[in-house]
Chains A and B, each alone.
Chain A
Amino acid sequence: MYRKQVRRRRAVLVLLVVACLMLISISISEADSGPLHRVQNGVSAVLNPIGEGASRALKPARDLVNWFDETLAARGENDDLRQQVADLRAELTETQDAAEKAGYADDLKKLMGSSGLDAYEPVDATVTAHSTSTWYGSIRIDKGSDDGIAVNDSVVTSQGLVGRISNVGGGFADVGLLTDGTSANAVTARISGKGPVGTVTPVVGAPGKLEFTLIEGGGEFDEGDELVTASFQIQGDRRSIYPEGIPVGEVDQAVPAEQDVQDPVRITPFANFDDLNEVTVLTGGPG
């Protein structure tokens, strides 16, 4: 009897491990339009309304927990913020002109206007599910191909770039975040106003941090320098996924001009990845 149980246990284990390995292998090797992905998307489409309903039902509970968390954090930050307000007031008096341009909303509006983002059709969406691990930076939203969303469309918040659409179904879409270390989510970016071009990549295990590695250009960075997406086009059809000029983040630490910039520079993204509830997908676009 005991031996039979042991044999059964081992058989179940081996069977399921083999099943997992086969699923991983097929999932990685087949195209996005392959049968396994189609089944995954089909099941997803069925389960999505349930997840969406649960997400909406549990939003008050989430907000309550986050409210406590933010209240506790706010108390700790109070003194720092007071000091910062005093510093900013002094700075404001000295540089009125620069301060006028400092409002991020104005910057975003200006960048959208000057870089042709007005040509994109914005689709507002609600986040219905978040990934369960820091290894996977992805979210699911409640809008999909029925709303005109397509794979590789850029996703932004009012603060800046969030990521791109990695998978889309009829009434849902998955967003690969900038912090996702498992997919090709590197962003070509440049320092706004200075021009050195590089790639922004995530730092796995350090949520909320990105790295900027130079491809070309000079190497002086000041703390607070803003990064925006840099669009490029090679040989006609090949072009970068993200449109030009979307704010990405700011430089954490100054790097003097005389220092040879080989190592990645730490970036803090503008978008708050811990609190993503509403996002906007830039659909369509020029051409």
Chain B
Amino acid sequence: MIVTPRIFLRLAAIVFVAVLLQAAFFSGVPLLGSVANVVPVVVVALGLLGGAVTGTVSGFAAGILIDVMVGGTLGVSSLALMAAGYAAGRWREGYDIVSSLVPPLLTGALCGVAALAYGAMQLTLGIDATVSPLVVREVVVQALLGALLAVPVFPLIRRVLRPALVDDSARARAKAASARAGFGGRSGPFANIRGDRGHLRGL
């Protein structure tokens, strides 16, 4: 990802809107005995699209915003979200997204990791209450809801950040070239990513 000042503003806006939506909407809508958490979904999407640095910084900023807006211990949410954002970014730097199922599945898994990390830190910092085994269910539900939320959220964020994405720019150029040559390009939010990365490596 090429982070220009304009793209930086878009990234900041995405993180802010995600935290605002979480505090004002998703946290007030119980689902499957829990609440959906859109913030790790957005952080993982930013990591998958922008790499480890983008994912880590987004996780840090989102965590600080959450702790300030909801009144938690500063830094705890940041650590959990940074873990998810960094892992997503490292995945993006090491592997290709070969299927449209990869972002939701990876997001689900990393949402579970973030929930686990958050719980582990709370345990480390001291919980003045009995911890129920149902916490495991909470982690599984968070992973499931994260995977479902990623289906609309990932393409949406990809669309917002498209001007900064190297893969998408290369794909757009390739599509334009094939259109000029009279061939139809592949379409869809995740199509042809592998081929483009391979093409870029060859350059």
Contact = CB atoms under 8 A, between A and B. Distances in A.
Contacts of A136: 70, 72
B83 to A, nearest CB: 9
Range of interface residues on A (Cβ < 8 Å): 35 or more
B76 A24 contact: yes
Nearest to A22: B75
B88 to A, nearest CB: 13
Contacts of A61: 25
Contacts of B134: 205-206
Given A19-B60, A201-B128, A140 B119 contact: no
A16 B61 CA distance: 10
A55 interface: yes
Contacts, number: 181
Interface in B115-161: 115, 118-119, 122, 125-138
Q: Is the interface of B mostly helix, strand, loop or mixed?
A: helix
A57 B25 CA distance: 9
Interface string B75-86: 111110010001
B53 interface: yes
A128 B129 CA distance: 26
A203 B73 contact: no
Interface in A112-143: 127-136, 138, 140
Contacts of B126: 182
Interface of B: 20-31, 33-35, 37, 39, 51-53, 56-57, 60, 63-79, 82, 86, 115, 118-119, 122, 125-138
23 contacts: A17-B79, A19-B60, A20-B63, A20-B75, A20-B78, A20-B79, A24-B73, A43-B68, A55-B23, A55-B28, A62-B25, A62-B28, A66-B29, A66-B30, A131-B70, A131-B72, A132-B27, A174-B71, A181-B127, A185-B128, A204-B132, A205-B132, A205-B136
Interface of A: 8-9, 12-13, 16-17, 19-24, 26-28, 36, 40, 43-44, 47-48, 50-51, 54-55, 57-58, 61-62, 65-66, 69, 127-136, 138, 140, 166-167, 174, 181-186, 201-207, 209, 211, 264, 274
